[in-house]
A and B are shown apart, each in its own frame.
Chain A
Amino acid sequence: MNKKLSAIVLAATTVISGALAGCSGGGQQSTEPASSGQQTASPAGKTTLQFWHSLGGKNGEYLDAMIKRFNDSHPNVEVVGTFQGTYDETVTKLQQAIAAKTAPDITMLERAYVQMFAEAEVLEDMTPFMEKSNVSKDDFPEGLMGHSVFDGKVVSLPFNRSTPIMHINKTMLDEKGLAIPQTWEDLKKVAEALVVKENGEVKRYGLSMPYDTWYPIAMISQANGKFFNEEGTSIGFDKGEGVKTFQYLKDLQSSGALYYPPAQDSGNIVNQMFTSEKIGIMFQSTGVMGTVKNNAKFDYVTAYLPKDEVFATPTGGANIAMLADSTKKEAAWEFIQWVNTDPNGGQQFILDSGYLPFTKKMVESDAIKDLWAKDPNRKVAYDQLQYAVDTNKDVAWPQIMQEFFKAIQAIMYDNKPIEPTLDTFKKEAERLLKE
């Protein structure tokens, strides 16, 4: 929803809601606390913090465990972590909650949305807190700080962050005597060499990746393009980088070396095919490494995404932010600081979940060093951060992303000519960037 529209909607509804509040005759029932050990009422002298997040499944359990460790060791503060749906759903919920003054104190925010909230000035500048605690921006890996500082304010800090990475069935490569590809050219050769055809039907593919904007963006950066230009007025890959990227993918697709999965559930399909040895190499998030390792019956390694002109990777995942409306900022900072610095905080969560270590101290800790010794794949993922660059930064990104998906569909599924498709996308992007 654009700002003008929402302002009007909100203005209109406050009028109506004022009328309703006047005639709400009781009917107020307090619900009893849930049996999950969450307290809605807290004993006197205790500060209760609301923390909204988007982690379900196993990672959600690891996060709950981290929150519990904090609560057990901090008698004066209690953090109540609540799952609020996917990243996108959490954004919707935050927007309405901020308007209704029911927003949490701390929230997880998918990195691409931070800017939107920062520009609406609803996120707290954490600089003063950081100064008081002697924390500096340099304590965090630079590659993860792309969505933290806006307008000179530190409005979010990295938390559960991931990058795309190359996952390789090394057994398959060894059988053919192939080295791990480091460039697009290598990758093309390797992917084509891994293909197995029976009666003209491809039985095994060389390369695959989920249907997502992440991977084309990575490749555009590798071709030395930027997703948006410096001024943020148009795209930054119209000097052939975009055409080159999609031409490369189409060539591999037509030779049968690239399997481009159907849009629905593409991530699952690619993971299943990779662990079932139907694909030799996949581009996929660092988030799947643990599960793939447990399920792969072959020598599984990871490597940097191959380079064209340069090595480059976007990042993913979410940051933690403090809401400007919170009345408990001191306690909120205490929690964030504990997450960033205590070995039982974020560090343990990272060990559990497999997300990237997000402070330099963590990287130097024995626990992470041991983990990397045991599982070198994880070190590769962190080391690749030196090439991390997020060039799709703009408030309009969520809308432009939809348009970019359309372009990917047209090229990858419908075999539409690349150049005109990207030109159409460019026009749409410029229109949205102007708004």
Chain B
Amino acid sequence: MGFVFPFLWMISTSLQTFEETMRFPPTWIPASPQWSNFVEAMSSGPFLTYFKNSVIVTFSIILLQLMVMIPAAYAFAQYKFFGKGILFGMVLLAFMIPGQVTFIPVYLMLADAGLIKSLWPQILPFMSNAFGIFLLRQYFMQIPQEIIESARLDNASEFKIIGKIMIPMSMPAISTVALFSFVSHWNDYFWPLVMTDSEAVRPLTMGIAMLRETEGISNWHIIMAGNVVLVVPILIVYLFASRQIVKAFTYSGIK
């Protein structure tokens, strides 16, 4: 139950008055819920723009990742080709390099390409997802060869095999990867911070970071209201995806 505590704390603070946030010992139940905090948080900057950017960036990333990951994982799982082991090793290596190492060269490249003022710097570097390729490959390898063989005998193209067999049978893995991707990019602060120089291309996380006071006393009730706004879509997606995962787990390949 420990993980719920900060969550409840956030919701409680988001409904307090400033005076209540300043009390010690802290307040748990706001005397009268201050819904206006949400209005104030969202009118502090171009929140619609932030929200739109968050949605575009996150969903573009997921879409691109699925387009890259699924064929790659299929190739690693089903084909034999020269250098397969080394290539897969490189994928895993990519999985181990944190963004804090690569951001300067990536920024310089994108600045040279003149893309800094667009949303691309937040999308392109995440076109592929090594963790996802790894997970999907494991999954694809478990799918019985007989099913794939029989599809090939029926003259199904490789893409048809992926679309009609691999994807439906690997839904749990795909949903999991997509969900992880969604949460990590929706909540990402570091990457948009170093990749964006203007308000027009910034996501929600940056908008909420702007509510903090650099020196002096922050309006925590407003910041927490912003954070609630940030978290709600994650909860919605999670509820939706978890149903998917459960459904997918109850589906079995061989009937």
Contacts and interface: CB of A to CB of B under 8 A. Distances in A.
Q: Do A and B come from one complex?
A: yes
Interface of A: 9-10, 12-14, 16-18, 20-21, 24, 27-36, 38, 40, 50, 52, 54-61, 80, 82-87, 89, 92-93, 96-97, 99-102, 104, 160, 162, 268-269, 271-273, 275-276, 278, 285, 287-288, 290-292, 295, 316-317, 354
B251 to A, nearest CB: 38
A84 B155 CA distance: 56
Contacts of B116: 100, 102
Given A59-B216, A287-B213, 12 more contacts: A16-B109, A21-B112, A24-B115, A27-B115, A28-B115, A30-B118, A31-B119, A31-B198, A38-B200, A57-B212, A80-B198, A316-B215
A291 B216 contact: yes
Contact of A13 (B26, B109, B117, B193): B109
B213 A31 contact: no
Contact of B215 (A27, A104, A162): A162
Nearest to B49: A34
Contacts of B24: 269, 272-273, 275-276, 278
A96 B104 contact: yes
Given A36-B45, A55-B214, A87-B214, A276 B22 contact: yes
Contact of A40 (B25, B45, B105, B198): B198
A60 to B, nearest CB: 6
B51 to A, nearest CB: 12
B104 A20 contact: no
Contacts of A35: 46, 48-49
A36 B104 contact: no
Nearest to A289: B216
Nearest to A269: B24
B103 interface: yes
Interface residues of B, number: 48
Nearest to B216: A287
Contacts of B218: 57, 268
B215 A287 contact: yes
Nearest to A61: B44
Contact of A20 (B45, B113, B213): B113
Contacts of A60: 210, 214
A276 B46 CA distance: 35
A373 B34 CA distance: 35
Contacts of B26: 272
A13 B104 contact: yes
B194 A96 contact: yes
B93 to A, nearest CB: 17
A207 B46 CA distance: 42
Contact of B107 (A31, A83, A96): A96
Contact of A56 (B49, B103, B107, B210): B210
B214 A354 contact: no
A99 B216 CA distance: 32
B199 interface: yes
5 contacts: A28-B118, A31-B119, A40-B200, A57-B218, A275-B24
Chain B interface, DSSP helix/strand/loop, else mixed: loop
* Central interface residue in A10, A57, A97, A285, by most chain B CB within 10 Å: A57
B22 A295 contact: yes
B193 A36 contact: no
Contacts of B200: 31-34, 38, 40
A56 B112 contact: no
Nearest to A270: B24
Given A31-B201, A82-B197, A58 B213 contact: yes
Given A40-B117, A100-B108, A100-B111, A57 B214 contact: yes
A52 B109 CA distance: 22
A276 B19 CA distance: 10
B219 A57 contact: yes
Nearest to A31: B200
Contacts of B111: 17, 100-102
B112 A59 contact: no
A287 B217 CA distance: 8
Contacts of B44: 61
Contact of A96 (B49, B108, B216): B108
A217 to B, nearest CB: 16
A99 B106 CA distance: 12
Contact of B109 (A17, A28, A89): A17
Given A9-B104, A82-B197, A285 B215 contact: yes
Contacts of B206: 83
A100 B199 contact: no
B120 interface: yes
A56 B214 contact: yes
Contacts of B115: 24, 27-28
B203 to A, nearest CB: 12
B190 to A, nearest CB: 9
A36 B103 contact: no
B237 interface: no
Given A28-B115, A276-B23, A36 B214 contact: no
